[in-house]
Structure 1
Amino acid sequence: MTDAKPPVTREDRLAARLRENLKRRKAQARAMGAPMETPAGETPESRTSGLSNPAA
């Protein structure tokens, strides 16, 4: 006999798809070098060191 799995509910399928999508989006953001989240009140520009660019 085979082990019959119970039918997967719609909510379970959607939850799995959402998790896969989130993983894919995180990987894409990491590849692009974009920060995932910034703390409240902080902009990406404020995350720089404040040093001038010596190459400019």
Structure 2
Amino acid sequence: MTERQAHKNKNTAKTREERLKAALKANMGKRKAQARARATDNDKTVPNKNEKE
């Protein structure tokens, strides 16, 4: 492998790592938002113990 190819492979690996990191961060953000939405939905549908039916 030439020096130029080795440098290109390092850059490619770095950009791939950055893309994966960004995708993971976005995915975690979506999952947290879904979890928050589910938590608020459950709070609305489940009556409190203190409330009379």
Give the TM-score of the pair, scaled to structure 1.
0.46
When you count helix as a share of all residues, which structure comes out higher?
2
TM-score of the superposed pair, with normalisation by structure 2: 0.49
Structure of higher CA gyration radius: 2
Tell me which of the two structures has the higher relative contact order, counting C-alpha pairs closer than 8 angstroms and 6 or more residues apart: 1
